[in-house]
A and B are shown apart, each in its own frame.
Chain A
Amino acid sequence: MSDERILKFHILRFNPQVKGDVPTMKTYEVKEAPGMTIFIALNDIRETQDPSLQFDFICRAGICGSCAMIINGRPDLACRTLTSKFPDGEIKLLPLPGFELIGDLSVNTGKFMRAMSERVESWIHDTYADSVDLDRLEERMDPDIADQIYELERCVECGCCISACATKRMRDGFLGAVGFMRLARYALDPRDKRSDEEFYEIIGDDDGVFGCMTLLGCQDYCPKDLPHQTQIAYLRRKMALVK
């Protein structure tokens, strides 16, 4: 029965590269197939109905974080969203807010994330890291710490948390959950020699953790289920102790 469904995709269309183009919602009908994801459906639309439709998929397996968009009001990874999830077959797609629009459903998360990485200095700070003798045994690490770091490093830079953040909407300079998570990851890592004061420099103001209203849109929509609530609380406590 469900094989025969006709899905209705309502998609925001806008190509800022084309002079005079204005944003409009357009509707496309697609015959549903078993196991169909939004990735499959959008490609089908591009191939058979409208070759100009822009969107970003790379891994199509929920791994690379390219394909976040607003799906019926919720930010999520489109590649792993099955169309069967929507009982009425109506699917409304909007580009992720909070990022520069490239066109249609494609946004420039890359530029944003690079800036975020530069801002939090998303790398191990250790003056000796480049003089490590590569022939010798590596520095040991507690297996639990390694696992915990990995837990915080699972972020795929999809941007869902940014699009769901009320503070970010009001304050352009607000770092956002993805940045907090990145910082928490380095704060936990014994290989990073930065002091709390140095972290404070980065996030100890209203554009940092003290601006966060803890409404936790980030936690609700993070497709990798990262522990935003605990980490934001942890960073706040840590930063409160600095001053």
Chain B
Amino acid sequence: MKVIYTDSLIIGGGLAGLRTAIATRQRGYDSIILSLMPAKRSHSAAAQGGMQASLGASVKGEGDNEDVHFEDTVKGSDWGCDQDVARMFVNTAPKAIRQLCAWGVPWSRVRKGDREVVINGQKVTITEKDENHGLITSRDFGGTKKWRTCYTSDGAGHTMLYAMDNKAIELGIQVHERKEAVALIHEDGVCYGAVVRDLITGELLAYVAKATVIATGGYGRLYAVTTNAVISEGIGNAIALETGVAPLGNMEAVQFHPTAIVPVGILTTEGCRGDGGLLLDKDGYRFMPDYEPGKKELASRDVVSRRMTEHIRKGKGVPSRYGDHLWLDITLLGRAHIEKNLREVKEICEYFLGIDPVKEYIPVRPTQHYSMGGVRTKPTGESPTLKGLFAAGEASCWDMHGFNRLGGNSVAETVVAGMIVGEYVADYCASNPLKIDTELIEKFVNQEQEKISTLLSRDKGESAFALKKEMQQIMMDKVGIFRNEADLSKAVEELKVLHQKSKNIALRYKVRAANPELVEAIRVPKMIRLAQCVAYGAMLRKESRGAHSREDYPERNDRDWLKRTLTFWKNEDEDLPEVKYEELNIMKMEIAPGARGYGVDNTIHHPDTEKRLAEIEEIKKTNPSADRFELQRLLNPIEIPEKFRGKNERIGIGFK
């Protein structure tokens, strides 16, 4: 048995994993990153749109600050987020982006003088200030009050990931590629590392560490059509779930992005609409203003996706052999803009649709895009119940997104979480010795070895590929944008059956090494369990909040449902997870629950909401001279690592 020791084991080489590893390395701890593929190929590379940080250097970002970003994030989450975490996040995001700037990201910059932009379908000239020339600029994104999304032409995620991986290389951090974590090693509520399968040799290895961090990205591939990479299968979440000790949070909170191309589901960035692109129906009619006269195409993602679906249901979709879709029109932005700031979109249209988006409309449809749920953590990033297990990035439910994340807030989260959680991981490494219990390690490795041997020796049984397809279709048809009891309970029943079947997978290719069918066979039962967490959690949640939209319970119900779903899977023989709920404490919220400002507000309020509103008023009244920083401390005192506590400077404003 091969055992590899390190201080912190980071499972995942995307932005979140890399940044966490850098943080622990810089504090003097050894860290090893595991990745299915070279780190630079992680899905973070696909983020085209950008990263939110309230720098306020572009003229349309003027007046922006942490508080405005905070409000947008909380509203965007439909009050489902953890406001402490959202606060830590918005305060740190400007530092994160500035650090990436020092590490080499060629952020697009403010260019002084006039430039033409498209706002609400009209060409408008805006003038950038001379004194802001050369600072990081920003673009508009959905659900934000200010233009806050910083970007690198059309390749924000790519340049961020490259800068981050290059930094990791500079620091000599090892990335063990083509390695898949298949189980966590744990005992008595403490995590000691992971059992890892080498995807080339098929060998099982034990990685033993003081701290283990799950940074494996989202679980979009539970759905048949998704914008996510083919490796976004949620295995990191699944191995946490399978400990029976660490819960997953809000797995039913799944985001659908308004504009993925039809049929393959490749994303065209929100930047298309941010930069002025419009949504049109089969008659070429711009329908969003009818539904959302305020933010129109730039309402929050969940809202736009639902409105599009409603509009298609009214028969206004464009029929195609792949079902109805709508049009995304960016022709009005002009060739120069598209070829510079939306080039990736142009390439995608050319290669996959054979159209030129400078002249033609793009066929789009709302498509699974982001996983708000994940490994539930405390604000430190540590699991509340499994010591030594941390999570960061999309794989986590650190919970700054609640039930809907804003565009640009995700890559920002990965980096900020890496910074903050990384510090706590280092703290943990400092105060916990490396425990090596070979018997325990062996037990876990043998357990996985046995599962693989069983798979390889079974003569007849289910096809892993077929089971996966079935699962993905169930999720598409019954656990989608609009949900209802009948479909959800069917989904739950069908997934139970699939879960049973998944115990009987047999392989056609019975080789231990480099075997894609075996990889699938190991993953599929895990994925089915995750799918069940999503479906079952969605069935139980009898309200609509953010991206979780119940046709039979259309109102947001703070009275009964202002709580986070926690799912545990204690026994592999069970077909359903155990579900618990974690209340969100309104009396601690910096912004008490209110309306998001879309459609009719039919919220069923919690009795505490009024109390908290009154209390907030009172605090404000009794501290008339408090500036915004003092007020925040009074309303929402947060713990944040020392090094990130400073105020952020902004051009023309200073540190105010």
B635-656 contact mask (Cβ, 8 Å, vs A): 1 or 0: 0000000001011111100010
Contact in complex: A143, B40 (CB < 8 Å): no
Determine if B335 is an interface residue (Cβ-Cβ < 8 Å).
no
A19 to chain B, nearest CB (A): 10
Residue in B closest to A102 when the chains form the complex, CB atoms: B200
Contact A52-B152, Cβ < 8 Å, known A135-B649, A146-B108: no
Contact across chains for A103 and B46 when beta carbons are under 8 A apart: no
**Chain A contact residue count (CB 8 A cutoff):** 64
Q: Residue B136 at the A interface, CB < 8 A?
A: yes
Q: What's the Cα separation between A121 and B348 when bound, in Å? A: 32
The segment from B77-85, B278-286, B373-381, B513-521 that touches chain A is B513-521
Q: Is the CB of B99 within 8 A of A35?
A: no
Number of interface residues of B (CB under 8 A): 81
Chain A's closest residue to B153 (CB) is A150
Q: Residue B135 contacts which of A58, A65, A137 (CB distance < 8 angstroms)?
A: A137
Known contacts being A58-B230, A62-B347, is A149 close to B169, with CB within 8 Å? no
B1-50 contacts to A (CB < 8 Å): 26, 37-38, 40-43, 45-46
Interface residue from A37, A62, A111, A138 paired with B101 (Cβ < 8 Å): A138
Contacts A52-B509, A62-B347, A110-B177; A146 near B106 (Cβ below 8 A): yes
Residue contact A80 to B352, C-beta cutoff 8 Å: yes
- The answer to whether the Cβ of B129 comes within 8 Å of any Cβ in the partner chain is no
A51 lies within 8 A of B110 (CB): no
* Complex interface residues of chain B between 608 and 656 (CB less than 8 A to chain A): 644, 646-651, 655
- In the complex with contacts A35-B263, A35-B352, A57-B465 CB distance below 8 A: no
CB closest residue in chain A, given B202: A17
Which residue on chain B has the smallest CB distance to residue A66?
B41
Q: CB of A18 within 8 A of chain B? A: yes
Q: For B38, what are the chain A residues with a Cβ–Cβ distance below 8 Å?
A: 109-110, 113-114, 157
Q: Are B155 and A150 in contact (CB under 8 A)?
A: yes
Alpha-carbon distance between A169 and B395 when the two chains are bound, in angstroms: 42
> In this assembly, does A202 line the interface, its C-beta being within 8 Å of a C-beta of chain B?
no
Question: Within the complex, which residue of B26, B108, B177, B351 is in contact with A62, where a contact is CB–CB below 8 Å?
Answer: B351
Find residues 151-183 in chain B having any chain A CB closer than 8 Å to their own CB: 152-153, 155, 158-159, 162, 165-167, 169-170, 175, 177-178
Neighbouring A residues of B104 by C-beta, 8 Å: 123-124, 189, 191-192
Question: Given A135-B647, A137-B135, A138-B136, is A52 in contact with B111 using a C-beta cutoff of 8 Å?
Answer: no
Query: Is A111 in contact with B159, judged by CB distance below 8 angstroms?
Result: no
Q: Is the CB of A59 within 8 A of B229?
A: yes
Contacting residues, chain A, for B137 (C-beta < 8 A): 143
**Of all chain A residues, which has the CB nearest B152?**
A150
Given A143-B108, A189-B106: A61 and B46 within 8 A (CB)?
yes
C-alpha spacing A222/B71, complex, angstroms: 44
The reply to whether B136 and A18 contact each other, CB–CB distance below 8 Å, is no
**A46 at the binding interface (Cβ < 8 Å):** yes
By a CB distance below 8 angstroms, the chain B residues around A113 are 38, 40
* Chain B residues numbered 264-284 whose CB sits less than 8 Å from any CB in chain A: 264, 266-267
Say whether B162 contacts A153, CB under 8 Å. Answer: yes
Name which residue of chain B comes closest to A153, CB basis.
B159
A142→B46 contact, CB < 8 A: no
B319 CB to closest chain A CB (Å) equals: 15
Please tell me if the beta carbons of A154 and B167 are within 8 angstroms of each other in the complex: no
Interface members, chain A 124-150 (any B CB < 8 Å): 124, 126, 129-130, 132, 134-143, 146-147, 149-150
Q: Is A172 interfacial (CB 8 A cutoff)?
A: no
Contacts of B72 in A (CB 8 A): none
Interface presence of B344 (CB below 8 A): yes
Q: Are B649 and A137 in contact (CB under 8 A)?
A: yes
Contact B107 A146, beta carbon cutoff 8 Å = yes
- Check if A58 sits within 8 Å of B648, measured CB to CB: no
> Contacts A56-B37, A135-B648: A46 and B516 contacting too (C-beta < 8 A)?
yes
Do A146 and B109 have beta carbons less than 8 Å apart?
Answer: yes
Q: Which residue of B lies closest to A37 (CB)?
A: B352
8 Å CB contact of A102 from B344, B514, B647: B514
Residues of A within 8 Å of B159, CB to CB, are 150, 153
Inter-chain contacts of B45 with A (CB < 8 A): 59, 63-64, 156
* Residue pair B109, A124 in contact (C-beta under 8 Å): no
Q: How far is the CA of A149 from the CA of B351 in the complex (A)?
A: 25
Q: Does A214 contact B (CB under 8 A)?
A: no
**What is the number of contacts between chain A and chain B, taking CB atoms within 8 Å?**
204
| Chain A minimum-CB-distance residue to B44 | A64
Nearest CB on B from A158, distance (A)? 10
| B-facing residues in A209-230 (Cβ within 8 Å) | none
User: When each residue 83-110 of chain B gets 1 if its CB lies under 8 Å from chain A and 0 otherwise, what string results?
Assistant: 0000000000011011101111011111
B152 close to A15 (CB less than 8 A): no
Q: From B340, which residue of chain A is reached at the shortest CB distance? A: A147
CB distance A140 to B516 under 8 Å? no
A57/B230 contact (C-beta < 8 A), A15-B514, A52-B511, A80-B351 known: yes
User: In the bound complex, how far is the Cα of B134 from the Cα of A141, in angstroms?
Assistant: 5
A4 within 8 A of B: no
Q: Contact: A147 with B103, CB < 8 Å?
A: no
Question: CB of B321 within 8 A of chain A?
Answer: yes
Contacts of B42 in A (CB 8 A): 58, 64
0/1 string, B346-370, CB within 8 A of A gives 1: 0110011110000000000000000
- Cβ–Cβ < 8 Å partners of A20 in chain B: none
B508 interface residue (CB < 8 Å to A): yes
Give the distance in Å from the alpha carbon of A80 to the alpha carbon of B42 in the complex: 18
A111 to B, closest residue via Cβ: B177
Nearest CB in chain A: distance from B507 CB, A: 7
Separation of A50 and B263 alpha carbons in the complex (Å): 25
Q: When each residue 93-128 of chain A gets 1 if its CB lies under 8 Å from chain B and 0 otherwise, what string results?
A: 000000000110000011101100110011110100
Whether B231 is near chain A, meaning CB under 8 Å from some CB there, is: yes
Hey, what's the 0/1 contact readout for A154-184 against B, CB within 8 Å counting as 1? 1011000000000000000000000000000
Q: Does B133 contact A (CB under 8 A)?
A: yes
From B26, B43, B516, give the contact of A51 (CB < 8 A). Answer: B516
What's the minimum C-beta distance from A48 to chain B, rounded to whole angstroms? Answer: 8
B201 is an interface residue with CB less than 8 A from chain A: yes
Query: Quick check: B109 and A141 within 8 Å, CB to CB?
Result: yes
Write out the residue numbers on chain B whose beta carbons fall within 8 Å of the beta carbon of A53. Answer: 516
> What are 23 contact pairs spanning A and B, CB under 8 A?
A35-B263, A35-B352, A46-B465, A51-B465, A51-B508, A51-B517, A58-B43, A58-B231, A59-B43, A61-B266, A63-B45, A65-B41, A66-B41, A80-B352, A123-B170, A124-B102, A137-B649, A140-B134, A143-B109, A147-B106, A147-B153, A150-B106, A154-B158
Which residues on A are within 8 Å of B, measured CB to CB? Answer: 15, 17-18, 34-35, 37, 46-47, 50-54, 56-66, 80, 82, 102-103, 109-111, 113-114, 117-118, 121-124, 126, 129-130, 132, 134-143, 146-147, 149-150, 153-154, 156-157, 189, 191-192
A-B contact sample (16 more), CB < 8 A, given A17-B513, A52-B515, A141-B109: A17-B200, A35-B264, A53-B516, A54-B516, A58-B231, A59-B45, A61-B348, A62-B348, A64-B46, A80-B351, A142-B134, A146-B107, A147-B340, A149-B106, A150-B108, A150-B159
List 10 A-B pairs, minimum CB-CB distance, nearest first: A140-B134, A110-B38, A51-B517, A17-B513, A134-B95, A135-B646, A143-B109, A149-B106, A52-B509, A80-B351
Q: Which residues of B contact A (CB under 8 A)?
A: 26, 37-38, 40-43, 45-46, 94-95, 97-99, 101-104, 106-111, 133-137, 152-153, 155, 158-159, 162, 165-167, 169-170, 175, 177-178, 200-202, 229-231, 263-264, 266-267, 321, 340, 344, 347-348, 351-354, 465, 507-509, 511, 513-517, 520, 644, 646-651, 655
